[in-house]
A and B are shown apart, each in its own frame.
Chain A
Amino acid sequence: MTGKVHLDHAHIRRLLMAMLRIRRFEEKCFELYTTEKIRGFMHLYDGEEAVSVGVIEALRPQDAVVATYREHGQALARGIAMPALMAELYGKQEGCCRGRGGSMHVFDRAMRFYGGNAIVGGGLPLAAGVALGDRMLGKDTITACFFGDGAVDEGSFHESMNLASLWQLPVLFVCENNLYAMGMAVERAEAETHIARKAAAYAISSAVVDGMDVVAVEIAARQAIEDIRKTGRPYLLECQTYRFRAHSMFDAQLYRSKQEIEAWRKRDPITRLRAWLEQNNLMHPDEIAGIETAVAAEIDGAVAFAEAGTWEPIEELERYTIMDRVPQ
């Protein structure tokens, strides 16, 4: 776990805390779902935390993020306030989207977080457009576009990769390959199962990284961004990862074995980082316990905020269907 990233104590602490915030937040979400505080479709990121934490650590505030419907992790890593996110899951008007989007449609203008897209592959063209717009406006930015292995089946993946390469758009395509598109295994959906190899068809550089290793992901993301800056071309980073929980809250997981899940659990990115920190005496267990306490307090605060939240008046139902101005 070394490389070009300077792993000082504060940095490691930040990565660990970012992953723990996501993990514990979603454990609470699961609980709240069973008590029907959260409804609708909810897709948990359990096991995949290292991907968004590692990639987003490499981004700057002016960069843009286009996310998937499994985006609680992407949202928290990007800095969307946990209370606003939890209130959104509750459907309260204090939520980041006033409770209109819910779990699958998290947006945050200040964070340049462009959704939360529940159409598989639907965010890829959007990401190319944000990158195009930024470039035409003379901004020096990167657009990070997260998508899963299922999106690779879609035409929008291929069209967007081609367009971004053709127009030399600064897009970091991040494939969260968790091996299953809902229940569809990659090898049952893809004739070429090595997703990163597909980039070559569009003259895009690519890399495969262990998505269960947050430092490896951050290093790979920084190298990818360096490549984008140097060449002016997009880049595809395939992060090999795994979700420990079901696809959504309605999934009997008939398509994969318990043994497979257990084998991947041994590679849990959080357990792994903690073990490494403890073995190398880089972080005292008391400090880790302190992080856990802080995260638990933050989640309690977020839940309290969501509980205290209010319902958007029904009179406002149609508001923002048609905008009266472009928000600045």
Chain B
Amino acid sequence: MSATAQTRMTYREACKQAIRAAILADKRVFLMGEDVARYGGCYAVTKGLAAELGEDRIRDTPLSEGAYVGAGIGAAIAGMRPIVEIMTVNFSLLALDQIVNNAASIPHMSGGQFAVPLVIRMATGAGRQLAAQHSHSLEGWYAHIPGLKVLAPATVEDARFMLQPALDDPNPVLIFEHVMLYNREGDLDPGVTAVDITSAKIRRPGRDVTLATYGGSLFKALDAAETLRQEGIEAEVVDLRVLRPLDMATVLASVARTRRLVVIDEGWKSGSLSAEIVARVVEQGFFDLDAPIGRVCSREVPIPYAAHLEQAALPQAAGIVAAARAAVKGA
């Protein structure tokens, strides 16, 4: 496969190419996680890589999230550049102690003697009728923790290129891949070979209202923006991309232009990332606002199995349209 010939690919393929390229480029990089090698990955991201790269570099682990995430931290401190895959963010709770008490704390707690150059990838989000223990969006929790960087690639380009700068970063970087994106196709611009992991991106410019979102909700926001356009409302869609540290400058600049904001987040509202964004806009951009800020988030329930209930629990384009309309025209 040539690097330039194939420009259209799935998000899954982009993740896979990113992992392959990183491992081929640096002897210190390896990937470990549950069923990543012989099974090919729960979401088939690493399918075929073990055969090519060997089971030392694509390493199956036992079902011991705490131990293999902790081992990733130890290996990073010892000089390796591990990529740890956790099947879903829901399972990462079994490794929360290692992520928060070790990975995020050791650099500061040791007075800067140790960095933890570790990447942890995990799937997040709902939409596949996997019910409460496989469907939650807990990335906002991680965005609460000083010492971590948190990324949410939504596009094929970000899926392909965010991994390398994450590996080059001396800090623990968590990458959240929304489950509904893996099959999504997108075009890779052959001219783009790198992206940053510091900035939010405006995915669609508009003058009337800012829709700030990330990950799986980005495409719902873009769909909503298209519907709004037909009503004469031009929505600007900001893809946050980086959930910690937040690029508030981009959000605030957008709000200064549109004077209206709707935040869309598949996490719950209470104590959340969306709440943080709203708070910061109120703190730093209050006088730019012409209308109350809107939020479209998941309903405050464990995500249910039945399709109609699951969809009712999640942010949808119609809800985003309604919130944007209310911001522009008043409720």
Q: Which residues of A contact B62 (CB under 8 A)?
A: 159, 162-163, 166
Stretch from A2-10, A98-106, A175-183, A187-195 forming part of the interface with B: A98-106
Per-position 1/0 for A86-116, Cβ under 8 A of B = 0000000001111111000101110000111
Q: Specify which of A66, A105, A108 lies most central, judged by the most chain B CB atoms within 10 Å of its CB.
A: A105
Q: Does A324 reach chain B (CB closer than 8 Å)?
A: yes
User: Total number of A-B contacts with CB less than 8 angstroms?
Assistant: 160
Q: Which residues of A contact B68 (CB under 8 A)?
A: 125, 163
On whether the beta carbons of B56 and A136 are closer than 8 Å, the reply is yes
Q: Does B109 reach chain A (CB closer than 8 Å)?
A: yes
Assembly CA distance A159 to B77 (angstroms)? 20
Q: Which residues of A contact B112 (CB under 8 A)?
A: 98, 319-320, 323, 327
On whether the beta carbons of A101 and B79 are closer than 8 Å, the reply is no
Residue of A nearest to B64 (CB): A159
Residue of A nearest to B74 (CB): A129
Q: Which residues of B contact A134 (CB under 8 A)?
A: 78
Residue of B nearest to A162 (CB): B62
B81 to chain A, nearest CB (A): 9
On whether the beta carbons of A327 and B111 are closer than 8 Å, the reply is no
Q: Which residues of B contact A130 (CB under 8 A)?
A: 74-75, 77-78
Residue of A nearest to B70 (CB): A125
On whether the beta carbons of B66 and A155 are closer than 8 Å, the reply is yes
Q: Which residues of B contact A109 (CB under 8 A)?
A: 110, 113-114
On whether the beta carbons of B67 and A100 are closer than 8 Å, the reply is no
**The one of B70, B149, B171 that contacts A156, using a Cβ cutoff of 8 Å:** B70
Within 8 A of A (CB), among B32-73: 56, 61-62, 64, 66-73
On whether the beta carbons of A129 and B73 are closer than 8 Å, the reply is yes
Q: Which residues of B contact A322 (CB under 8 A)?
A: 107, 146-147, 149, 171, 245
Q: Does B206 reach chain A (CB closer than 8 Å)?
A: no
On whether the beta carbons of A129 and B66 are closer than 8 Å, the reply is no
Q: Specify which of B97, B117, B147 lies most central, judged by the most chain A CB atoms within 10 Å of its CB.
A: B97
Q: Does B250 reach chain A (CB closer than 8 Å)?
A: no
On whether the beta carbons of B56 and A159 are closer than 8 Å, the reply is no
Q: Which residues of B contact A285 (CB under 8 A)?
A: none
Stretch from B98-106, B187-195, B317-325 forming part of the interface with A: B98-106
Assembly CA distance A101 to B117 (angstroms)? 20
On whether the beta carbons of B146 and A323 are closer than 8 Å, the reply is no
On whether the beta carbons of A129 and B78 are closer than 8 Å, the reply is yes
Assembly CA distance A101 to B110 (angstroms)? 6
On whether the beta carbons of A323 and B113 are closer than 8 Å, the reply is no
Q: Which residues of B contact A107 (CB under 8 A)?
A: 106, 109-111, 113-114
Q: Does B184 reach chain A (CB closer than 8 Å)?
A: no
On whether the beta carbons of B108 and A320 are closer than 8 Å, the reply is yes
On whether the beta carbons of A115 and B73 are closer than 8 Å, the reply is no
Q: Does B176 reach chain A (CB closer than 8 Å)?
A: no
On whether the beta carbons of A129 and B70 are closer than 8 Å, the reply is yes
Residue of A nearest to B112 (CB): A320
Q: Does B14 reach chain A (CB closer than 8 Å)?
A: no
Residue of B nearest to A118 (CB): B101
Q: Does A128 reach chain B (CB closer than 8 Å)?
A: yes
Q: Which residues of A contact B146 (CB under 8 A)?
A: 321-322
Within 8 A of B (CB), among A195-245: none
Q: Does A40 reach chain B (CB closer than 8 Å)?
A: no
A177 to chain B, nearest CB (A): 21
The answer to whether A320 and B70 touch (CB under 8 A), given A119-B97, A163-B62, A327-B115, is no
Q: Does B285 reach chain A (CB closer than 8 Å)?
A: no
On whether the beta carbons of A114 and B114 are closer than 8 Å, the reply is yes
B33 to chain A, nearest CB (A): 13
On whether the beta carbons of B66 and A156 are closer than 8 Å, the reply is yes
Q: Does A302 reach chain B (CB closer than 8 Å)?
A: no
On whether the beta carbons of A126 and B77 are closer than 8 Å, the reply is yes
On whether the beta carbons of B110 and A100 are closer than 8 Å, the reply is yes
Q: Specify which of B110, B170, B245 lies most central, judged by the most chain A CB atoms within 10 Å of its CB.
A: B110
On whether the beta carbons of B78 and A128 are closer than 8 Å, the reply is no
On whether the beta carbons of A129 and B77 are closer than 8 Å, the reply is yes
A108 to chain B, nearest CB (A): 7
**The one of A101, A105, A163, A325 that contacts B71, using a Cβ cutoff of 8 Å:** A163
Q: Does A314 reach chain B (CB closer than 8 Å)?
A: no
On whether the beta carbons of A97 and B110 are closer than 8 Å, the reply is yes
On whether the beta carbons of B98 and A323 are closer than 8 Å, the reply is no
**The one of A99, A114, A137, A323 that contacts B74, using a Cβ cutoff of 8 Å:** A114
On whether the beta carbons of B71 and A129 are closer than 8 Å, the reply is yes
The answer to whether A136 and B101 touch (CB under 8 A), given A125-B67, A163-B67, A327-B114, is no
Q: Specify which of A97, A105, A155, A159 lies most central, judged by the most chain B CB atoms within 10 Å of its CB.
A: A159
Q: Does B161 reach chain A (CB closer than 8 Å)?
A: no
A306 to chain B, nearest CB (A): 15
Residue of B nearest to A138 (CB): B27
On whether the beta carbons of B110 and A128 are closer than 8 Å, the reply is no
Show 5 residue pairs from A and B whose CB-CB distance is below 8 angstroms, ordered by the A residue: A107-B110, A117-B102, A119-B101, A126-B70, A322-B147
B residues near A (Cβ < 8 Å) are 28, 30, 56, 61-62, 64, 66-80, 82, 97-98, 101-102, 106-115, 117, 146-147, 149, 170-171, 245
Query: Sorted from nearest, which 3 A-B pairs have the closest CB atoms?
Result: A129-B74, A125-B70, A133-B78
Known contacts A107-B106, A124-B70; 16 further A-B pairs (Cβ under 8 A) = A64-B78, A97-B113, A98-B111, A107-B110, A117-B101, A117-B102, A119-B102, A122-B98, A126-B70, A129-B70, A129-B72, A137-B78, A159-B66, A320-B107, A322-B107, A326-B170
A residues near B (Cβ < 8 Å) are 64, 66, 95-101, 105, 107-109, 114-117, 119, 122, 124-134, 136-137, 155-156, 159-160, 162-163, 166, 319-327
